[in-house]
Chains A and B, each alone.
Chain A
Amino acid sequence: MKHCLATLAAPLLAFGTSSARLQSSDSPSSKSVNNRTALYGELANAPGKARERRNPFENDPEAVAAGRNLFEQHCAQCHAEVQEAPPGAIFWILTNGVVRRGMPVWSKLPEPQRWQLVSYIKSLSVPVANESLPLQRECGVTAQSSLLR
């Protein structure tokens, strides 16, 4: 009977969670701030050769638009803020992730799509209101209600 109840409980629990909406964060804990610092600090570890790579979609407005769609699909739920860095370093961290800090590798996105993402991230040079992106979860990195840079 225990086995039976467990069998029923798992999908019911999943149903409950799917029906609810996640709320944006209040204030970041020190743990998540440290985690965010460590995660973005990983940008500094990008090898020189990787940092020097040029974005093949530089100055391509369509790449920025496509990158925005990709960002909203795959990144915005964890990253409500982004860090200023050379395009090659951003591409490198997208490819390799920061696995021990909760960011998965994103090489499952083909290389052109990762560069499109870089195009969008680099286009965020002016502040944009946080309402423009959904803040749904943390993933170990604080979804802070701050401005995108």
Chain B
Amino acid sequence: MVFCQSSTLLVLLLLPLWILLAPALAHAQESPYFVAYDHYLEEPGSLEIEYFSTVGTQRAGNNFHAFSTEFEYGAAAWWTTEFYLEGQTTFHDSTVFTGWRWENRLRPLKREHFINPILYLEYENKSGADKILKEVEGHDVESDFLSPNAAARKEHDHEIELKLILSSTVKGWNFTENTIAAKNLSNNPWEFVYVLGASRPLSLKASASRCNFCREHFIAGVEMYGGLGDRHNFGLHDTSHYLAPVIAWNLPSDWTLRFSPGFGLNDDSHRLLFRWGVSREFSGFGEMVSRLFGGRR
């Protein structure tokens, strides 16, 4: 078991290095959001691998660095599936593997509309030491993160999460609104979350020459998210909220780098959640796996 945990952490640590060294195969155009989702799915047959981190401050406790590796696959033009492995380091405490999650996004409508809905379904298998803060559920507040890792990891959560993503793109601006309902399967009430996001490329026209620093490769925006309580106590009481500027740099060589400093908006929030991520997209992944198993064109 010790070997298993060590191997998992080794994979999490080596993946960014591999991403740096891997050959180029495809081109990405990723959104800058960390928490919000827009209505754009992964291209069919493409695999995107991302490493991202959340560094959080903790009052009355130790700051932390949570990290995640994401495998996102375009199963079809209307279906994207993602698998995450997550861990965290709490400073002056320890580093632990905190669990995994599997999510699916489905596009029900064939064509583009003013508002585009996406249906989202996720299953999480994680420990109580999870600190990635991919969303802030129900009454999650900063003081929930004070427990030492040794105690927190004993708690096991099996959770499902349903999301309705409503996203529009108007004159280069993307506006998205995500409504989330999450249920811990161990007899806890449904918890609710909101996420809002807006973003725009710095230039709407592409340059005639190839360049890394052209403005069209940068997408800037802002996202806001927080808890809405639970089924028994719906509302903003005892909830935490964040406002986070976001920026993505989509390099023509298929890299995407993203940064976001998130600021807590009330006393129940972490003061600062600094997030960054690096991702790489590989097209033709599905076809290659198919060929490995004797598939034909």
- Chain A residues at the B interface, C-beta cutoff of 8 Å: 1, 3-4, 7-8, 10-11, 13-15, 17-22, 25-26, 28-29, 32, 62-63, 65-67, 69-70, 73-74, 77, 95-105, 107-113, 116, 136-140, 142
Whether A7 lies near B8 (C-beta < 8 A) is yes
Given A7-B8, A113-B204, A136-B25, also A99-B43 (CB < 8 A): no
Whether A17 contacts B285 by the Cβ 8 Å rule is yes
Segment of B56-64, B153-161, B206-214 engaged in the interface with chain A: B206-214
Chain B residues in 8 Å Cβ range of A70: 206
Contacts of B205 in A (CB 8 A): 66, 110, 112-113, 116
Q: Any chain A CB within 8 A of the CB of B201?
A: yes
Interface of B, secondary structure class, is loop
Question: Please, which residue of chain B has its CB at the minimum distance from the CB of A1?
Answer: B4
A110-B77 Cα distance, complex, nearest whole Å: 19
Whether the pair A137, B287 counts as a contact (CB closer than 8 A) is yes
B residues near A (Cβ < 8 Å) are: 3-4, 7-8, 11, 15, 18, 22-23, 25-27, 29, 31, 38, 40-41, 43-45, 47, 49, 69, 71, 74, 76-78, 83, 85, 100, 107, 110-112, 169, 171-172, 174, 201, 204-210, 216, 252, 282-285, 287-289, 296-297
Contact of A99 with B29 in the complex, beta carbons under 8 Å: no
Contact, CB under 8 Å: B297 / A77:
no
Q: A11-B18, A26-B297, A67-B206 are in contact. List 12 more A-B contacts (CB 8 A).
A: A4-B3, A4-B7, A7-B85, A18-B23, A62-B208, A74-B29, A97-B112, A101-B77, A104-B44, A108-B40, A109-B29, A136-B25
**Contacting A73 at CB < 8 Å: which of B18, B25, B209, B252?**
B252
How close is B115's CB to chain A, nearest CB, in angstroms? Answer: 13
The 6 closest A-B pairs by CB, nearest first: A137-B284, A4-B4, A65-B208, A110-B204, A73-B27, A66-B206
Q: Known contacts A18-B22, A108-B40, A111-B172; decide if A137 and B45 are in contact (CB<8 Å).
A: yes
Residues from chain B with a CB closer than 8 A to the CB of A108 are: 29, 31, 38, 40, 169, 174
Contact of A99 among B110, B201, B252 (CB under 8 A): B110
CA distance A99 to B41 in the complex (A): 11
* Nearest chain A CB to B179 CB, angstrom units: 22
In the complex, residue of chain A having the shortest beta-carbon distance to the beta carbon of B254:
A73
- A107 near B169 (CB under 8 angstroms)? yes
Distance in angstroms from A6 CB to nearest chain B CB is: 9
Q: Which of A13, A29, A63, A77 contacts B284 (CB 8 A)?
A: A77
Please give, as numbers and ranges, the residues of chain B lying within 8 Å of A15 by CB-CB distance.
18, 22
Contact flag A32-B43 (CB < 8 Å), given A11-B15, A100-B110, A136-B283: no
User: Is there an interface contact between A107 and B297, defined as CB atoms closer than 8 Å?
Assistant: no
Query: Once bound together, how far apart are the Cα atoms of A19 and B41, in whole Å?
Result: 25
- Given A77-B284, A110-B201, CB of A140 within 8 Å of CB of B44: yes
Which of A25, A29, A99 counts the most chain B CB atoms within 10 A? A99
Find B26's partner among A4, A10, A65, A77 (CB 8 Å cutoff): A77
On chain B, the residues within 8 Å of A7 by CB distance are 4, 7-8, 11, 85, 100
Q: 23 A–B contact pairs at CB < 8 A? A: A8-B11, A11-B49, A13-B289, A17-B285, A18-B282, A28-B297, A29-B297, A66-B206, A69-B206, A100-B77, A100-B110, A102-B44, A104-B41, A105-B112, A108-B29, A108-B31, A108-B169, A110-B172, A110-B216, A111-B171, A137-B45, A139-B44, A140-B45
